[in-house]
Copies of this chain bind each other. A is one copy, B any other.
Amino acid sequence: MNLLDSILEKIRPSEEDQRKLAEVVRILLERAKQVCGEEGIGKPMLVGSAARGTWLKGEKDIDIFLLFPETLPKEQLEEIGLKICRKIAGGAGKERYAEHPYVSFEFQGFEVDLVPCYEISDPRKIKSAVDRSPHHQAYVSQRLTPTLKDQVLLLKQFTKGLGVYGAELKIHGFSGYLCELLILHGGGFLDLLKQASRWKPGHVIDLERHYSNEDEPRRIFENQPLIVIDPVDPGRNVAASVSLQAFATFVRGCQDFLANPREEFFFPKETKKLKKSELAKILRRRGTEVYCIVFKSPDLVPDVLYPQLRKTERALTTALNEAGHKVIRSDVWGEGTCAILLEVQPCTEKVEIREGPPLGVDAENFIRSYLLSPLRLAGPFINPSGRVVYELESRRPDPEKVIRETLKEKHLLGKHVGETLQKGYKLIKTHKIPELLDNPHLSPFLCDYFTKCLPWYR
């Protein structure tokens, strides 16, 4: 397919790019070896897409792992590991924390991560997720031919275009390693897409046939839409990060691409940049009540921040729905500025139908609880489905009040986000929303929200 060749031209790193990377990697590994030698412990190893030749042009990530003997106690690993990392990184190094601490720094235009881990021969006995990376490195690099590497590049760019590339908790999508395994499984980009276009939630891929059937992994990884057994560790689903939304988006994308292959799937049009007047018009047309909670971003990596933002978002939508307001959509943003956007369908209904339990379940309490209520409009009576029903005057507290009250309940919110919110936030309402476009951090978020569309249909 000509299209795929022309895409490859754009995404495959040039010889110059590769030479540059090789040179930088050489310098880094040398420096790492030297430091490890000085400390008398540690074995540097290049892993990730840079090591396997599956990096997309323009990607600037270099992952160097430092392998330590598994006899080293955890505290010592962290201590000596970080010390070595800091020495390698020099003054530019920043300590970060995922499951383990690690150090990242910029070097000659590249983003370098230095990650201490254990060298464990049997990957089923690893002590931490990072210990698995050297095994992934070995598994993939032994199997990926140059042709397959190109196919990985296509799949990575394709998921990127679809908006589902990255296992981060912001995206809940497909990791680079997952893309590599999918290509090994499918045999090529188009073949994989053909298979994926027929996937249903609960699809199992087990390259090394660790399981004799699909039922067992499906039971172990229950409710995970895509189950890709890690070849080096049958107890792990490489696609655990893939949400149902990302899964369905990918399957939809495969179906649509095969029906009508276009470059836009790989390089979608940008979201339309809305002017204030345009957003105001959209808001009028939607006729909804929009609430945007804006607050200073706590200093957290996205993988920690986003789950907290989502938790806070869930607490708010639950509270609004329970108060009788219909939240039709909501979203969060955590880059530069934090924002939680809630869109409520306005409701003027004054009668609330309150149904009791079905026949056979005790309804006494239900009947008693509204018999003398000042809100009772009619009932108790039996509806055609045989249930006891009251019609009550509905009393909906103001959404703004519900939001403000919920944001006081720290235990319902994410830890750091909750703490930050206690210090203050702005609650922006419908007609003031367009003014948020002045905030360069929030502008893309709002434009995306109000023109929400699969990228290839933009």
Contact = CB atoms under 8 A, between A and B. Distances in A.
A328 B349 CA distance: 11
A382 interface: yes
Interface string A365-405: 00100010000011111111111100101000000000000
Report whether over half of chain A's contact residues are helix, strand or loop; otherwise say mixed.
mixed
A371 B387 CA distance: 41
B252 A388 contact: yes
Interface residues of A, number: 54
Given A286-B351, A350-B285, A353-B328, A454 B382 contact: yes
User: Within the oligomer, what is the number of copies of this chain?
Assistant: 2
A364 interface: yes
B453 A383 contact: no
Contact of A453 (B287, B351, B353, B380): B380
Given A328-B353, A348-B287, A363-B252, A452 B244 contact: no
A451 interface: yes
Contacts of A453: 378-381
A363 to B, nearest CB: 7
A350 B348 CA distance: 13
A251 B286 contact: no
Interface in A421-451: 450-451
Contact of A243 (B286, B328, B384, B457): B384
A1 interface: no
A166 interface: no
Contacts of A349: 287, 345-347
B328 A351 contact: yes
B346 A244 contact: no
Contacts of A269: none
A359 interface: yes
Contacts of A364: 255, 259
A449 to B, nearest CB: 9
Given A201-B386, A359-B201, A388-B252, A381 B348 contact: no
Interface in A276-306: 282, 285-288
A225 B351 contact: no
Contacts of A393: 285
A420 interface: no
Contact of A382 (B248, B282, B363, B384): B248
Name, among A248, A347, A360, A379, the residue most crowded by chain B CB atoms within 10 Å (CB to CB). A248
9 contacts: A245-B382, A248-B387, A285-B350, A286-B377, A288-B350, A288-B351, A345-B349, A346-B348, A378-B452
Given A245-B384, A245-B386, A259-B364, 17 more contacts: A200-B360, A201-B386, A243-B384, A244-B385, A248-B388, A252-B363, A252-B388, A285-B393, A286-B377, A287-B348, A288-B350, A328-B391, A347-B348, A367-B457, A378-B450, A379-B452, A391-B452
Interface of A: 200-201, 225, 243-245, 247-249, 251-252, 255, 259, 282, 285-288, 328-329, 345-351, 353, 359-360, 363-364, 367, 371, 377-388, 391, 393, 450-454, 457
